[in-house]
């Protein structure tokens, strides 16, 4: 394959039929508006930016949908002008000797400012060296985090595209948000559930008699969405508050949502991480009273006959009675019984959050919610059953019938040999066995995201994951974009120890986050307000297609992630060292 075709693959313009090339070329952009209002978007909604003499002076929501304020919508100026990384930086010990970079000094070493072109060459050279010496599986680019929204400048996909085309990498499965539930739910319900559309809010508001918030805090978490928030969730929770529904909040602490619904909702506070015991107590009471839907269980479920011996204590000698549950969860047996009967006798929607599954055996919480709802027999009835995404990205907002825009994709694994890019592995006529082996050693190497520290500290270790055996590769090169895993990951001290194991860590970042400070090479990147892009509003509603118009000029030495990976493609193809 010719070099220009490789660069075309790296730039990925052909993958974006709905997006004009002018969006990607700064020299073709029209002049920025220096004064007035500019429409753009971020994860916290569609925004109006007010600029004066080319500076942001104010940001506000494009449209107000409820009386619940979202202060994130007023932070645009702070995000653009404060705590920015102002130039490409390399850790002093790494710059002095990349082969002996003293990784134990990460987070402690001095930083040296370098030219952008030199940083690009350095990353390309060290990435090649790592692959040549230790193989593609030693390069970790799974990356993860709440990158800026936008379908073009989507940093993680751009990273994956570059890494795939240049030879492959080790990735990850799952995420931190729903790491347990998203694995167990397909085995229980046949689908993911946690990132799927919910029973629509109009149906809930019309038909539900009891609405339960089990471990969710929507008034706080609905401030953001994965795309751009359509801001419908606040409106619907506001309508719920003003309705005649009985609202029950089951949460160890009185959250922002608990305070918002104070005077309207009943708050029940079990001990943390005892939700399953409380649900088992309800289930046992329903079973002992004969108040469960035998027909639903017989017609629409399998396995109840295996669950009952555990519930009654026949299998282990411990009946999961409300009294037994009360000793564990701290809620009186009478309340547990009352709730169980209330849920059975009234059309009940159980809205569950994700925090209850972020623990050892966390998969049991959502599994037990589905089991309890199956006993109630209301799954599939209007306003009944369960939902695991009402607190996230405005789940339950009705889905629009319009189109959905596309964007970047991660491409396929490329083959690089003797300093030349030969094309995509799937296109090479090298024989099925060789091509398949290449794919196994690159695109198919992945482990659960939450095991990143364990993987770095224990290369070669084999773990069980979702019914399979996974062996950690020896990771020697990390490239992370659009996230802050040093504070996102559990057990920070162990994570920091793990991050001092690889030889090279590269980070694209806007701010001096803890993760940026723990890198060897840092590229300063633009915010979503310093570039043109396009996105949807509403992860579930697909309500709008939004032009994310550039609000201000690029700050300091910041580059778009798109530009950085385009330049890395050029460096990697030319073999610069």
pLDDT digits (tens, 9 = 90+) for 374-398: 999 999 999 999 999 999 999 999 9
Whether residue 351 sits in one domain with residue 272: yes
| C-alpha angle 321-322-327 in degrees, rounded to nearest 5 | 100
CATH number at residue 489: 3.40.50.740
Whether residue 566 sits in one domain with residue 433: yes
Whether the pLDDT of residue 483 is over 90: the answer is yes
Whether the pLDDT of residue 6 is over 70: the answer is no
Give how far the C-alpha of residue 270 lies from the chain's centroid of Cα atoms, to the nearest Å: 28
pLDDT tier at 444 (50, 70, 90 boundaries)?
Answer: low
Q: In this predicted structure, what is the pLDDT of residue 246?
A: 98
Whether residue 335 sits in one domain with residue 301: yes
Whether residue 88 sits in one domain with residue 209: no
Whether residue 567 sits in one domain with residue 462: yes
Q: In this predicted structure, what is the pLDDT of residue 11?
A: 47
pLDDT tier at 441 (50, 70, 90 boundaries)?
Answer: very low
Q: In this predicted structure, what is the pLDDT of residue 12?
A: 43
Token code pair at residue 54: 């080319």
Instruction: Indicate the burial class of 305 (C-beta count within 10 angstroms; 0-12, 13-18, 19 or more).
Output: exposed
Averaged over 521-542, what is the pLDDT? 97
Residue 540 lies in a domain: no
Whether the pLDDT of residue 431 is over 80: the answer is no
CATH number at residue 297: 3.40.228.10
Whether the pLDDT of residue 22 is over 70: the answer is no
Whether residue 373 sits in one domain with residue 433: no
Averaged over 39-50, what is the pLDDT? 98
Phi, psi torsion values for 2, nearest 5 degrees: -75, 155
Whether residue 289 sits in one domain with residue 412: no
Whether the pLDDT of residue 439 is over 60: the answer is no
Whether the pLDDT of residue 29 is over 90: the answer is no
Q: In this predicted structure, what is the pLDDT of residue 276?
A: 98
Distance in angstroms (rounded) separating the CA atoms of residues 550 and 537: 17
Q: In this predicted structure, what is the pLDDT of residue 445?
A: 86
Whether residue 233 sits in one domain with residue 145: no
Whether residue 207 sits in one domain with residue 121: no
List the one residue out of 145, 153, 122 whose CA is nearest residue 568.
122
In the chain, pLDDT over 70 holds for what percent of residues? 89
Q: Which residue has the higher pLDDT, 509 or 419?
A: 509
Residue 331 lies in a domain: yes
Q: Which of 144, 201, 260, 529 is catalytic?
A: 144
Residue 191 lies in a domain: no
Averaged over 296-324, what is the pLDDT? 98
Averaged over 110-124, what is the pLDDT? 98
Domain boundary among 328, 360, 387: 387
Q: How many structural domains are present in the chain?
A: 2
Q: In this predicted structure, what is the pLDDT of residue 443?
A: 46
Domain boundary among 327, 356, 387: 387
Whether residue 259 sits in one domain with residue 163: no
List the one residue out of 56, 86, 55, 54 whose CA is nearest residue 510.
86
For residue 108, give its domain range. 84-177+406-525+560-577
Whether residue 359 sits in one domain with residue 219: yes
Averaged over 394-421, what is the pLDDT? 83
Domain boundary among 387, 420, 439: 387
pLDDT tier at 221 (50, 70, 90 boundaries)?
Answer: very high
Average pLDDT of the chain is: 91
pTM: 0.91
In the chain, pLDDT over 90 holds for what percent of residues? 84
Averaged over 483-499, what is the pLDDT? 94
* Active site annotation includes 144: yes
Q: In this predicted structure, what is the pLDDT of residue 23?
A: 55
Token code pair at residue 501: 């194991």
Whether residue 317 sits in one domain with residue 240: yes
Q: In this predicted structure, what is the pLDDT of residue 31?
A: 84
Whether the pLDDT of residue 519 is over 70: the answer is yes
Q: In this predicted structure, what is the pLDDT of residue 414?
A: 65
């Amino acid at each position: 394959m010719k070099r220009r075709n490789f660069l075309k693959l790296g730039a990925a313009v052909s993958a974006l039929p709905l997006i004009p090339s002018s969006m990607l070329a700064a020299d073709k952009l029209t002049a920025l508006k220096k004064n007035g209002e500019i429409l753009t978007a971020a994860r916290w909604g569609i925004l109006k930016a007010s600029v004066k003499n080319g500076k942001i002076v104010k940001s506000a929501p494009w449209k107000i949908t409820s009386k619940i304020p979202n202060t994130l919508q007023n932070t645009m100026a702070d995000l653009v002008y404060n705590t920015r990384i102002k130039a490409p930086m390399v850790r002093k010990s790494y710059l002095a000797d990349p082969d002996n970079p003293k990784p134990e000094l990460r987070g402690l070493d001095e930083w040296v400012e370098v030219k952008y072109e030199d940083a690009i060459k350095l990353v390309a050279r060290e990435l090649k060296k790592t692959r040549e010496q230790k193989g593609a599986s030693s390069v970790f680019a799974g990356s993860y985090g709440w990158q800026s929204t936008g379908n073009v400048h989507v940093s993680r996909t751009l990273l994956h595209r570059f890494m795939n085309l240049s030879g492959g990498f080790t990735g990850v499965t799952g995420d931190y948000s729903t790491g347990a539930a998203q694995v167990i739910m397909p085995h229980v319900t046949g689908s993911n559930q946690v990132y799927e559309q919910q029973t629509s809010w109009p149906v809930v508001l019309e038909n539900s008699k009891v609405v339960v918030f089990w471990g969710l805090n929507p008034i706080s978490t609905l401030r953001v969405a994965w795309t751009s928030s359509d801001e419908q969730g606040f409106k619907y929770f506001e309508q719920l508050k003003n309705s005649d529904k009985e609202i029950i909040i089951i949460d160890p602490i009185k959250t922002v949502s608990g305070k918002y619904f104070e005077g309207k909702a009943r708050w029940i506070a079990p001990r943390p991480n005892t939700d399953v015991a409380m649900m088992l107590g309800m289930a046992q009471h329903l079973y002992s009273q004969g108040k469960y839907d035998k027909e639903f269980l017989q017609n629409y479920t399998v396995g109840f006959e295996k669950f009952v011996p555990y519930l009654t204590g026949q299998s282990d000698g411990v009946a999961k009675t409300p009294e037994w549950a009360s000793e564990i969860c701290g809620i009186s047996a009478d309340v547990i019984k009352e709730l169980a009967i209330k849920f059975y006798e009234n059309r009940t929607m159980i809205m569950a959050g994700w925090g209850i599954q972020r623990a050892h055996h966390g998969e049991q919480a959502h599994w037990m919610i589905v089991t309890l709802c199956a006993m109630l027999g209301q799954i599939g009835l209007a306003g009944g059953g369960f939902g695991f995404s009402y607190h996230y990205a405005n789940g339950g907002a009705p889905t629009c019938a319009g189109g959905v825009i596309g964007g970047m994709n991660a491409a396929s694994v490329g083959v690089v040999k003797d300093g030349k890019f030969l094309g995509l592995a799937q296109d090479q006529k090298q024989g099925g066995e060789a091509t398949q082996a290449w794919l196994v050693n690159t695109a198919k190497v992945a482990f659960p995201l939450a095991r990143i520290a364990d993987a770095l500290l224990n290369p070669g270790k084999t773990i069980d994951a979702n019914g399979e055996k996974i062996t950690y590769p020896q990771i020697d090169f990390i490239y992370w974009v659009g996230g802050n895993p040093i504070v996102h990951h559990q057990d920070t001290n162990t994570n920091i120890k793990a991050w001092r194991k690889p030889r090279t860590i590269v980070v694209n970042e806007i701010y001096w986050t803890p993760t940026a400070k723990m890198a060897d090479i840092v590229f300063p990147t633009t915010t979503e307000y310093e570039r043109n892009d396009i996105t949807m509003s509403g992860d579930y509603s697909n309500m709008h297609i939004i032009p994310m118009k550039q609000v201000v000029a690029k700050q300091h030495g910041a580059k778009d992630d798109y530009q950085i990976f385009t330049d890395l493609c050029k460096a990697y193809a030319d073999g610069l060292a």
